[in-house]
Amino acid sequence: MLTISLKDKITIAKKAASIITEGSSVVLGAGIPTKCLKFLNDKDCWVIYETGIIGACPFSCGTETIIDASRKKIGLREGGSIFDSAFIFSLIRSGRIKNAILGALEVDLSGNVACHATHTRLWGYGGSLDIYSYVEKKIFVIPQRRFVSKLSIPVSGKHIADIVVTENGYYEIK
């Protein structure tokens, strides 16, 4: 089976959110990472999207309705703001954002990551290279079949992943 079920995506998201400490800042990537939002809301985290959102929350609790990186409706919590992506990346580069929950095509046992998108109109790494370089804890949320012993596709970042979360559990990479 090449697709991952919604149940497994939610299992992965819940496990990833459980790793984030109360009151932390966390940047969420597109795809499975956006499903973490629901589980981070109870932790009073400042959820950030590369697209310019600081203070995202589930649609049902927000003071405003906005669209996330996966084109889904989300809310903006009280005190949240919307900026241009240049400002968000300046925050990332300053080291102020401590956690990232990201997707990947593959992650291997050494923490090497392959995330180079080629199937979209805008292909490439996106903002991931900045996140890899400046965020302290990088958590990758992927289906178990994408957690491999050795990458089968070109590497985007060497020894990047700190934690890999799959539907079967999470793995700290030392």
Asked if 82 and 53 count as a contact pair (C-beta separation under 8 A), the reply is yes
Domain-located, residue 51: yes
Structural domain for 93, as ranges: 6-172
Instruction: State the pTM of this model.
Output: 0.90
Residue 167, domain CATH: 3.40.1080.10
On whether residue 56 sits in a domain, the answer given is yes
pLDDT in tens, 31-57: 899 999 999 988 889 999 988 999 998
Angle at 35 between CA 30 and CA 38, to 5 degrees: 135
Average pLDDT value for the chain: 89
Closest CA to 154 of 87, 108, 120: 108
Q: Is residue 89 part of a domain?
A: yes
> pLDDT for 97-142, tens place per residue?
999 999 999 999 999 999 876 555 555 556 777 898 899 999 999 9
